[in-house]
Chains A and B, each alone.
Chain A
Amino acid sequence: MAFYVVQFLTGLASAASLFLVASGLSIIFGVTRIVNFAHGAFYMIGAYIAFTLTERFSGAFGFWGGVVLAALAVALIGVLVEMVLLRRIYHAPELFQLLGTFGLTLMVEDLVVLIWGPDDLVGRRAPGFKGAVDFFGQNIPSYDLFLIVLGPVVLGILWLLFQRTRWGVLVRAATQDRDMVAALGVNQKWLFTSVFAVGVFLAALGGALQIPRDAVHHAMDLRIIVEVFVVVVIGGLGSIVGAFVAAVLVSELNAFGILIFPKISIILVFLVMAVVLIVRPWGLFGKPEAAARKTPGLSVNPWRPLTSNERLAALAALVVAAMLPLVAGNYALTVGSEIAIFVIFAVSLHFLMSVGGLASFGHAAYFGLGAYGVAFLAKMAGLPMIVCLLLGPLLGCMGAAVFGFFAVQLSGVYFAMLTLAFAQIVWSIAFQWVSVTGGDNGILGVWPEKWAASPSHFYWLALGVAALVTIALRVMVFSPFGYALRATRDSVLRSEAVGIDAKRIQWTAFVIAGTTAGIGGALFAYLKGSVFPDNLGISLSVDALVMVLLGGVETVSGGVIGAIVYKALNIWLVSQTDLSKLVLGGFIVLIVVVFPKGIVGMLEILAQRRRKSSPPGSSLLAKPIESAE
């Protein structure tokens, strides 16, 4: 019995660490609607700075002072980031801020290694909490007890802050209805900055408090960010109590789950999130999002098919690309094939995001399923390459059909997180089912047949498929189905009023996007000759998001440009510099600030200005109204 009590307390201690970080993320998201990917980076910087301070100043005062000072310092960095970077992009399309904070995260990962060196750092234990307390023969670390107390204390302070201060009232009001708060004349700039500072302070405090338990190293951010986001979503966005309950739920399920299934940790949080979201679409304590007041079409350039001149130009460009094998060597051609494949992947997500208004955080699942489909067919059934390429993507199609059915019941960030949960479940199956998938050692030897083996032939194949896919999706955008899909994106209520079955249309779009991603994955398997669980992983999903956002989410073909620019730059930087993450992150941040509509979105605006015949919609674009945030 004593054991179960201790295991429960241990779970509570884990929950407290998780809650500190999650609460900050929840507050930030609730008010500013920013998906703050850099939250993990702030957590990590908090730990690094606290390490330096606690090493320098000894004694109890030095340690606790160092921890608090570190959190304050990072909060200050957070304020700078908010004022310099985020303030410029609140008007940008939804999720665009994700791109900016993603760029920051990349930069920080390289910066901490530059500043603090490559070694893992182990800090001091907390003065006064070094030992353990005996509980009927079981030891409980006293630091765990400290955390167990700290969690509810922080929860209480936050509750008082939100319920008993004017600032708290404003924050709650903004969480519920930002537009109304703005209309009532509240200065949102400072409200947002202060909320961001508080959120970052909590993240950094969470990081600093890990020093007595953990090693400080440059991958801490990614280790925590996804998990924390899951906790926030399970609890319900913007709900602090929800975040606390979710942290306890997840930690306790893990603490007791490993007693029965030792391998459960790898997937547990995602399983819990999937179940919770299917049962309660807004998380445990969340409320349905208020209907958007945005006038449909206001922020989007009216889409139109290409004119015949533009079609000719596109065709000419395609012909030029097809002539690449005449001048380029094998390496350039293989890179070209990879870029073409990522164009397929990016346009598939772009279709879902731009046309359907459904941002998937787990799109790599269908890319990876396509790749595994090919690998199974080629290695186990021994089918010829053409058949594999045609049938492989069906696995992506089936996955999208099953998961899409559940996912489209939700919307916004909840939709995104459910797709992430499904992707992680698929990933963990590929990772754990060693006898079938080879686990993380993957499936090797999936090489193309002779007719496609030479880099130029494969390049033509990939380019051709990419062109076909892009054209097909474009045609679909301007088909009746495309219009119906855009209607569900712009206003679910109005589209249903005119008789469109929104869920069915969105589900169909999800399956189309998943199948298309599967086509990309199928080609990718042959390009690399092997398939790994990586092909389904979070980082690939994030890559796809970045490509779409970089190209411009409000455009018809932004995904194409985004994929080319991001992938080419990424490959080139990794090859040329040891600090590729720093440079790439810096580039992304720069793009975010200079091109808040994405590359293609910005080009369109420039082109329209030059023509000087801009319709009223785009003049709004160029000068977004303050209060429309």
Chain B
Amino acid sequence: MAISREDVIYVAGLARLELNEQEIQDYTLQLNSILDYAAMLERLDTDGVVPTAHAVPLHNVLREDEVKPSISHDKTLRNAPDAEEGFFRVPRISLT
């Protein structure tokens, strides 16, 4: 299998997910079957095919540099789990 149990634990850690033993086993199987399915693509000859950067055949969707109104303080903080004096409040981050 391409995805090991350790890979699943590692990726779950990156995604800040806490998995129980059953979930680790389930996701290991499921992720492998997804990758096995996608591996069919490897049978195609992709020599000379430029890697796809985007699924939609568009480019250069741009806007002019013009200021638009921002939203109100009330709206900004309405969904904040915690706020104080106009700031979002988050659990303390210790860098070192």
> Are A and B interaction partners?
no
Could you tell me which A residues sit within 8 Å of B by CB distance? Answer: none
